[in-house]
Structure 1
Amino acid sequence: MASWFYASEGKQQGPYPEAQFRDLVSQGVVRPDTLVWTEGMAGWQKAAEIPGLIGGAGAPPMIPTAGGPPMRAGTDQPLTADFSVFGLLGRTIVFIIGMLLVIPAPWVAVWFYKWITSHIHVPGRPNFGFAGQPMDIWWVFMANGLLTYASFTGISFAPLVATVINAFLAWMIIRWIAANLTSNGERLPISFQGSAVGYVGWYLLLFISTITIIGWAWVMAFWMRWICRNIEGTRREVVFSGSGWEILWRTFVFSLASSFIIPIPWMLRWYGRWYVSQFALADRGAVNHGF
C-alpha cells in the first residue's frame, strides 16, 4: 500500500495511506498545484502532473518508477543535486569574474546562490531555495573581492592579513546564507551558530595544512562536521559523511583531469554533485520547525 506526503505552508505532511490521501484529494485539501511525493518518485511534483491522481479518484494513482524514500526516523537522508554540466561551469566562471570586478560581486553572488540552491534537493523540503538580496551584506562581498588583490600591494604581511579577514567575511556569508534558505518560498528558521573565532581558526588551519600536501583533506572533512554541528533550528540534524581520503582522491582526480581543459565542465559537475551528497539529514528526535 502506497504512502503519500504533501507540502503545505512549507511543511511536509504525511505519510497518508492511499485511501486517506484520495480523501484529501476529493476534499480539496490536496489541490492540483499541491506538491506531493510517494515512494518511487524522483522528487516532489504537483499533484496535477501525476496521472490518475487528480480527477481520477476511482483509479489508483500512478507511481513513477524512479526515486528515493522520504525521511524516516533513524536513517540518514542525503541531499542530492542536479547541476547541469555547462550551467554549473558558466555560473562558476561568472561568479569568479564578478568577485574580481568587486562592484558586481553582491549581485553575482546572490544570482549564483539562488541557482545552486534551486538545484539541490533536500528530503522533506520541496522547492529548496534562497531568498537573500544583493544589498543585505553588499560590503562583505565587495571587501572579499578587494582582498583578492592583497598580494599585489607589495606589503609582505598583506596576504596573511587578507587571509584572516577573508575568513571572518566567509563566516558572515555562511551565517547570511543559512538565514535565507527557503522551502516553497518560505524562509526556514535555520541559523549558523558557530563562533567567528572557531570559523577563522578552521580556515587558518586549512590554510596551514596545505604544507602537508594531503593533510588539508582531513581538516576539510572535520571542518564540515563542525559547521554541521553548529546549524540550529532544524528538526533533523545536518551531518557530513565525507572522509578525508574521499575528499583527497576526488580532488586529485578533479585536478588531474581538469589539467586537460576539455573535461573541466564534467569534472566540476561530478565533484559538485558528490560533495552535496555527503551532506545528509538525520532524525535527532526533536519536534521543531526547520528541515
Structure 2
Amino acid sequence: MQWYYTENGTQQGPVSGEQMTALIQSGRINSQSLVWREGMANWLPVAQVPELSAHAQSGPPATPQSPYQTPTSAPPQGMHVGADIPNYLWQSIVVTLMCCLPAGVVAIVYATKVDRLRFAGDQAGAQAASQSAKTWCWVSFGVGLAGLVLYFGFVFLAVLSEGRSTGY
C-alpha cells in the first residue's frame, strides 16, 4: 500500500506503509500531518487514520502542513484536494448556448480556472474565479432574458400596430 503525505506544504510520496510508520515514529510526521492513500476519499490528519494514529506523536506540526500547496507530483487519480469550490462550468456552457454568447464565454473562461487554481493550492484564487464565473453566468442569463423581453415586446407592438392599421 502506497502512502502520500505533506511536508513543508508540498505533497511527498509515495512511500510504503513501513516507511510511513518510520516517518511517524521519527517525528518527521506527527498526529496533525495530512496523509492519503488509495481508497481514502480525502487527505486526513494522521490522528484520524486508525492504522497510523497509534504511532503518531501528538502536538502541533513543527511546520505548516497543507495538501493545498503546489504538489511535487500530481495528486493520485480521483483525489480531491482542498475545499469543494463550485466551478459553474455546466451553467456557463448552458447560458453561453441559450442566452448570451459573449458573457457566457467569459463565464466559461473563469469556470475552467477554478479547478486548476484549487489543485495548485490557490484557494483564494479559485474562490475568486468561482465567484466571477457565477457572476458572468448571471450576467449572461440577464442579458438573454432582457433580449427575449425586448423581442417579444417589439413583436407584441408590431402585432398591435398591424391590428390598428387594418381595423381589427
Q: What range is the shorter-chain TM-score in? A: 0.3 to 0.5
TM-score w.r.t. the length of structure 2 is: 0.42
Which structure has greater helix proportion? 2
- Which one has the bigger strand percentage? 1
Q: What TM-score comes out, normalization by structure 1 length?
A: 0.27
Structure with greater Cα Rg: 2
